[in-house]
Chains A and B, each alone.
Chain A
Amino acid sequence: MSDTNLKKQSLPNKIKPDETGEAPVIQVGHSPHLSNESFTTRRMMIDVLIALLPVVGMSVYIFQLYAVKQMVICLVACLAAEAAFIKMRNKSFSLSDCSAAVTGIILGLSLPATAPWYVGVIASVVAIGIGKVIFGGLGMNLFNPAMVGRAFVMIAFAGLMAASGYESLHTGIDAITQATPLNAFKQMGISTSIKDLFFGLTNGSPGETSALACLVGGIYLCIRRTASWEIPAGIIAIVLIMGGLADLMGSASDWTVLHHLFSGSLLFGAFFIATDPVSSPLTAKGKFIFGAGIGFFIMILRFFSGYPEGVMFAVLLMNALTPLLNRWTIPAAMGE
């Protein structure tokens, strides 16, 4: 357990001196207070990019050029926005920590593949500007930048981003002509087969459709300890419990707990979005509670809200609670 906190320890140490440079910063965290130099932000971010490879591969396979286009737009816009904002704040110019690239790719994977170019650009600028830079740059942001950007365009361009925005008849790609699985179920009670959901031959955001690809990349991240396993574990545990209870309560629908698990952006969110080290809690206990809270809100939103999916809002809600979770789960010092 303490191993997972190593990187937590090293991350702020790496960032804060060159970001703020002035007042001494008191680090919250528990022993061992060692700093592992090989655990740099850059290495972590490159790990994330490696882990995203299967997801990117699947999305390009299914959505073809549309997925490529969306990812390139978001990637370029995020890097450009980062460069511009860094310059505006007179900071030393550095894109080499790759964090903007990760935000860009995750954003590109979470927007509808067919969304027009300006959606990606605006989402990226908001993600970097309002999601990150305004709080003081990487390491200071309260919310997951990619999700801030996505939430902004989701409300700004509701027509393009709502579940129906995913459907388009003119792309020549089979998946895009269908309703997204969650929406098909919510609106018409049609459930998609588990097999399609697992391999990802369905409509949705490019990154989210394939449960298999998300699992492969996610497990790699957890093994490398770049992502804390507690967070996805918490999410999946709560989704299993709540989905299982709904099954037991005998709702006649054939949307089972496995459908809940493999559909929508649940696994993509659990492994790649919720695990953002900056906006999630520091302690192992806090991480588990954080994950459980996300799982809880996802299920509540899926069951009761007007939206078919709730991962984005769940992550943002729990991001807001992160400082509180940190405070609640400070471990007792030795001997107390």
Chain B
Amino acid sequence: MTDQPTAFERFTQGILPENPVYRQLLGLCPVLAVTNSMQGAMTMAGAVLFVLLCANVIISLIRDLLKPHLRIVIFTLTIATFVTIVDRFLAAYMYQMSKSLGPYIPLIIVNCIIICRCEVCASKQSVLTAASDAIGQSLGFALALASIASVREILGTGMFFGFRVLPKMWPDWVIMVLPPGAFLTFGLLLGAVNWVVAKKKANG
């Protein structure tokens, strides 16, 4: 266990150095699908935080009982349960948001970030480490979603979080709220991140 990162390391790694979206390229389906508005993106980030935190804690609690060949089944079972809870909860208390996010909340089940964290961290480390790992990774995910969604929402609608930030005469770039805008924005931002990382490495 000595070579495993500590709880604090897990937390900080998830935010930037091992950002799930920009560095690991995981969970790209919601990254592309729900980032046309900040509200949707942040709801998605919150849902992922809840699911990841709960799944990591549960898996970490039962980590000594896991059998290697049955662990994936248990991961999936746990994740699916919490995703269903989030889905029902949104439908009950945030009906419009749940309608606009559509199938992407249920699709958190197949979001690789979560099963990856269960496998990499929660099934091997203590509850505290697993929880801080979940929070760190979720924050990294939220940051990534926010970066893409703010570009798309501002250019596409002239608004941010539903509030107008650009003058009314701003011509909305409709393409930015459509799927091509997601690919373009994500591609350009990913390129920028890689450029920064490469530059940092070159400087030592």
- B199 → chain A, closest Cβ, in Å? 13
Question: Are A156 and B174 in contact, with the CB atoms below 8 A?
Answer: yes
B178 sits at the interface (CB 8 A) = yes
Q: Mark A46-82, 1 if CB is under 8 A from B, else 0.
A: 0000000000000000000000000000000000000
B91 sits at the interface (CB 8 A) = no
The complex places the Cα of A157 from the Cα of B178 at a distance, in Å, of: 12
Interface of A is mostly: helix
Residue of A nearest to B191 (CB): A134
Q: Which residues of chain B from 28 to 49 have any CB-CB distance to chain A below 8 Å in the complex?
A: none
Question: Are B184 and A157 in contact, with the CB atoms below 8 A?
Answer: no
Residue of B nearest to A126 (CB): B184
Question: Are A156 and B175 in contact, with the CB atoms below 8 A?
Answer: yes
Q: Which residues of chain B from 172 to 187 have any CB-CB distance to chain A below 8 Å in the complex?
A: 173-176, 178, 180, 184
Question: Are A155 and B174 in contact, with the CB atoms below 8 A?
Answer: yes
Among A118, A122, A155, A158, which residue has the most Cβ atoms of chain B within 10 A?
A155
Contacts of A118 in B (CB 8 A): 171
- B161 → chain A, closest Cβ, in Å? 22
Question: Are A130 and B175 in contact, with the CB atoms below 8 A?
Answer: no
Among B173, B178, B191, which residue has the most Cβ atoms of chain A within 10 A?
B173
Question: Are B178 and A155 in contact, with the CB atoms below 8 A?
Answer: yes
A152 sits at the interface (CB 8 A) = yes
The complex places the Cα of A188 from the Cα of B134 at a distance, in Å, of: 59
Question: Are B171 and A157 in contact, with the CB atoms below 8 A?
Answer: yes
Residue of B nearest to A118 (CB): B171
Question: Are A156 and B176 in contact, with the CB atoms below 8 A?
Answer: yes
The complex places the Cα of A62 from the Cα of B178 at a distance, in Å, of: 35
Q: Given A116-B171, A118-B171, verify A155-B180 contact (CB < 8 Å).
A: yes
The complex places the Cα of A152 from the Cα of B174 at a distance, in Å, of: 10
- A133 → chain B, closest Cβ, in Å? 11
Residue of A nearest to B180 (CB): A155
Which of the residues A116, A130, A134, A157 comes within 8 Å of B173, measured between beta carbons? A157
- B198 → chain A, closest Cβ, in Å? 14
Contacts of A157 in B (CB 8 A): 171, 173-174
The complex places the Cα of A157 from the Cα of B155 at a distance, in Å, of: 12
Contacts of A122 in B (CB 8 A): 173
Question: Are A158 and B174 in contact, with the CB atoms below 8 A?
Answer: yes
The complex places the Cα of A130 from the Cα of B187 at a distance, in Å, of: 10
Q: Mark A155-171, 1 if CB is under 8 A from B, else 0.
A: 11110100000000000
Contacts of B176 in A (CB 8 A): 156
The complex places the Cα of A156 from the Cα of B176 at a distance, in Å, of: 7
- A313 → chain B, closest Cβ, in Å? 13
Residue of A nearest to B184 (CB): A130
Contacts of A130 in B (CB 8 A): 184
The complex places the Cα of A156 from the Cα of B185 at a distance, in Å, of: 14
Contacts of B178 in A (CB 8 A): 155
Among A118, A130, A155, A156, which residue has the most Cβ atoms of chain B within 10 A?
A156
Q: Which residues of chain A from 118 to 161 have any CB-CB distance to chain B below 8 Å in the complex?
A: 118, 122, 130, 134, 152, 155-158, 160
Contacts of B175 in A (CB 8 A): 152, 155-156
Contacts of B180 in A (CB 8 A): 155
Other than the known A134-B191, A158-B174, A160-B171, what 13 A-B pairs have Cβ atoms closer than 8 Å?
A116-B171, A118-B171, A122-B173, A152-B175, A155-B174, A155-B175, A155-B180, A156-B173, A156-B174, A156-B176, A157-B171, A157-B173, A157-B174
Chain B residues near A (Cβ < 8 Å): 171, 173-176, 178, 180, 184, 191
- What are 12 inter-chain pairs, A to B, with CB distance below 8 A? A116-B171, A134-B191, A152-B175, A155-B174, A155-B175, A156-B173, A156-B174, A156-B175, A156-B176, A157-B171, A157-B173, A158-B174
